[in-house]
């Protein structure tokens, strides 16, 4: 059974860079042709897609976050990562990693449990 697990600091200072990693188990990032994505949810609010990556490194980003986001993949560790720079309190949210189907336009069928990141000094 495919499982995804987010990890990273739960507290980040304003203007710094938020860094999270998603570790995939029960399947290989590089052996299957799937896209892997990041989604966030501010407390009490709705879902926002951040971006997605293919195992080869091809990426798609939310235009509203594109200037601050970098998503990368490490097939040797079966992980993919999120970096969000110049964070503010508005970036406080639960961050989820998830797996798409075989194209980036498809559904997010598997989700991690999410990790809360608070931006505060």
Partner 1 sequence: QSVLTQPPSASGTPGQRVTISCSGSSSNIGSNYVYWYQQLPGTAPKLLIYRNNQRPSGVPDRFSGSKSGTSASLAISGLRSEDEADYYCAAWDDSLSGHVFGTGTKVTVL
Q: How many helices (H) and strands (E) does the chain have?
A: 0, 11
Give least dist CB 98 to partner 1, A.
8
Q: Site residues (CB under 8 A) for partner 1? A: 37, 39, 46-49, 51-52, 60-63, 96, 101, 104-109, 111-114
Give least dist CB 79 to partner 1, A.
18
Q: Which is nearer to partner 1, 16 or 83 (CB)?
A: 83
Give least dist CB 110 to partner 1, A.
8
DSSP type of residue 55: T
Q: Which is nearer to partner 1, 13 or 45 (CB)?
A: 45
Give least dist CB 22 to partner 1, A.
12
DSSP string, 23-49: EEESS-TTTS--EEEEEEE-TTS--EE
Residue 113: exposure state from Cβ atoms within 10 A (0-12, 13-18, ≥19): exposed
Q: Which is nearer to partner 1, 15 or 64 (CB)?
A: 64
Q: Which is nearer to partner 1, 83 or 114 (CB)?
A: 114
CA dihedral 59, 63, 67, 68 (to 10 degrees): -80
């Amino acid at each position: 059974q495919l499982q995804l697990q987010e990890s990273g600091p739960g507290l980040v200072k304003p203007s710094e860079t938020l860094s999270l990693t998603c570790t995939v188990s029960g399947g290989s990032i590089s052996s299957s042709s799937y896209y892997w994505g990041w989604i966030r949810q501010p407390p009490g609010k709705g879902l926002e897609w951040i971006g997605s990556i293919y195992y080869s490194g091809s990426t798609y980003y939310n235009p509203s976050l594109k200037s601050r986001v970098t998503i990368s993949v490490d097939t040797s560790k079966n992980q993919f990562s999120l970096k969000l720079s110049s964070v503010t309190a508005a970036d406080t949210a639960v961050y989820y990693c998830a797996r798409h189907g075989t194209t980036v336009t498809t559904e997010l069928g598997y989700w991690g449990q999410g990790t809360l990141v608070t931006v505060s000094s």
